[in-house]
Chain A
Amino acid sequence: MAILMTQAVISGLLLGLVYALIGIGMNIIYGVMRVVNFAHGEFMLAAAYVCYWLSATFGLNPLESLVVVLPGFFLGGVVIYYLVVPRLLRSEDPEVMSFLAFFGVSLIITSVILLIWDADPRGVPFPFHTVSVSIGRLFFPLGRIIAGAFSLVAIACLLWLLHRTYLGKAIRAIIQNREAVPILGIDPHRISAFAFGLGLLLVALAGSVVVLSFPSITPVMGGGYTVVAFVVIVLGGLGNPLGALVGGIVFGLAENVSAVFMSTALSPVVAFVILIAMILFRPQGLLGRF
């Protein structure tokens, strides 16, 4: 039992890091624009499918494809921002309208993936020789370790960006008070576009890296990841990268440890219970507003 619990806890921590990486993209976007990116999981899936395509056509492994995928999604994010978000922010109920609009985007992305690649599960071959690392009697999948490492690096880079650069300061300013920002001479649209692109870049990173951890991808998996991202940002507090880390780890631990005691089919219910409890009792998240 002790071994099982230790395995569950450390596995949960690793899973939590992956969840944090998934959640951090949505965190930035919601913090800066109060836009709930309902298509979060679908963007991740799109990145995963691009990795698959690059792997099948050029033989690139997911980590090598990052060089192409990350800038591509950043630019895509900026374009989507300018197409969609300014109109949304001017509407009567921006939060709900953005929810619905991005919901529509999620349907579009899912159907495009379905049309191009069909519903059969696709697999990306695992590029490394060791599949799992063992320490004593505990086993850890290498895919998750790599994902966890990327997550920590991404969060560290994001914190550096937000606290040590001018652009980051502008982003933090918008998160705190969007209306006051033009007074300071900052164009909220340009900064928001950058933030949206950054958010999608993080989402693409999550999608490519997660491909290493799961044997196959299907076009309908997006919704599950969107829920994961919701839980992470609600747990961690909005607009706060450290919050995404904390939220992800708490979530990962809770899910893994509960899987020791009850059937894994019910583990999504654990996620929902945590989400609902947090929203009802502490909507500002564990770490509070940024």
Chain B
Amino acid sequence: MTMEPLRSSSAPSRHVGSWSAIRVWWYPVGLCLVALAVIPLIGPDWISFYFYLMFWVVMAAAFNIIYGFTGYLPFGYVAFYGVGSYVTAIATVKLGVPVPVSVLLGGAVGVMVSLLFAPTLRLQGIYFAIVNLSLSMALMIVVSNLPEAWAGGSIGLSLAAVYKPTHSYYLMLVLLVASLWIANRVATSRLGIALRCIREDPEGAEVLGVDVVRSRLKAWMLAALLPSLAGGIDAWHTAIIDPQSAFDYLITVRTVVYAMFGGLGTVAGPMLGSISMYLLDDLIWSSFPRLNLLILGILVVTLVLFFPRGFLGTLLRRYPTLRRWIS
């Protein structure tokens, strides 16, 4: 019996993630983006609803880069969001910088904070999660104890002077497009392969020539940039920030749940997960507001115990040929 290399009939091309898959599902995504762009013109009452939908997709997609692809669980993820919000608010209110520039400034400071936290990346699994959580909680306490002239103390800052919901909506749309593009680039590039290797076996990855430290750092910085920008834009949209809500750990919780629900390790997973979970969440808030936390908790436990790979992940496990269409 000769040893023949197995040929998979559904192997589309040499490129990771396959061009046919990208072509197919980018069309519905593109349609959704166009629809989102039109919302403020046809239904201005819905601006807030869709703004936060976009926000959660950005957060879940960015979280996926560090957890889904690289395998690190930053349980203090909200720290980047908080830093972005605060820098944007301080720059706009105290320094008079125009808002889009302060948002970019927020993103830059978020990346700097991630560099500061980078030495913790050498910790494994659970220790990394705990350290990250402690860092974000410590950051919250430090920020609320800063002098009031700098950061508003525990009362926070108000951006009411620059309140422009439609402008911030479109800026968030731009961020959404950028995040999806970045997530897709990470997934289909050599960086994505390297990150998946690191997630499965860091020592093995090094043997294969992957520069573990640099790849991990790149993923970490990217995963910090996006929530910082999102935090800045959210600060503009909501026009008020304070330490409790800017560093609220429920933001991390919802990001983790939304990303896990869809399925980590794919680009479509966090997108679909956050959209469906956002709608579900909204439904629960409007019908059973007191049960929101309970349902979130039950959902987390059920997900972890029965669907650890999320909805899309479980689907891909049952029907692996679907990987042609979903990258």
Contact = CB atoms under 8 A, between A and B. Distances in A.
Contact of A91 (B290, B294, B308): B308
B198 to A, nearest CB: 14
Interface of B: 73, 75, 119-120, 123, 125-127, 129-131, 134-135, 137-138, 141-142, 145, 249, 253, 256, 260, 290-294, 296-301, 303-305, 308
A93 interface: yes
Nearest to A34: B126
Contacts of A99: 73, 75, 126, 129
Contacts of A110: 293, 297
A269 B135 CA distance: 9
B130 A101 contact: no
Contacts of A91: 304, 308
A277 to B, nearest CB: 10
Nearest to A263: B145
Given A107-B297, A265-B141, A266-B141, A101 B305 contact: yes
A227 B140 CA distance: 15
For B253, B256, B300, which residue has the most chain A Cβ atoms within 10 angstroms?
B300
A126 interface: no
A101 B301 CA distance: 5
A131 interface: no
Contacts of B293: 107, 110-111, 114
Contacts of A21: none
Contacts of B249: 223
Contacts of A105: 297, 301
B127 A100 contact: no
Contact of A96 (B126, B131, B294): B126
B9 to A, nearest CB: 29
A272 B137 contact: yes
Nearest to B250: A107
Contacts of A93: 125
Contacts of B134: 227, 230, 272, 275-276
26 contacts: A36-B130, A84-B305, A95-B126, A96-B126, A99-B129, A101-B300, A101-B304, A104-B297, A104-B301, A107-B293, A107-B297, A109-B297, A110-B297, A111-B292, A111-B297, A268-B141, A269-B138, A269-B141, A269-B142, A272-B135, A272-B137, A275-B130, A275-B134, A276-B131, A276-B134, A279-B127
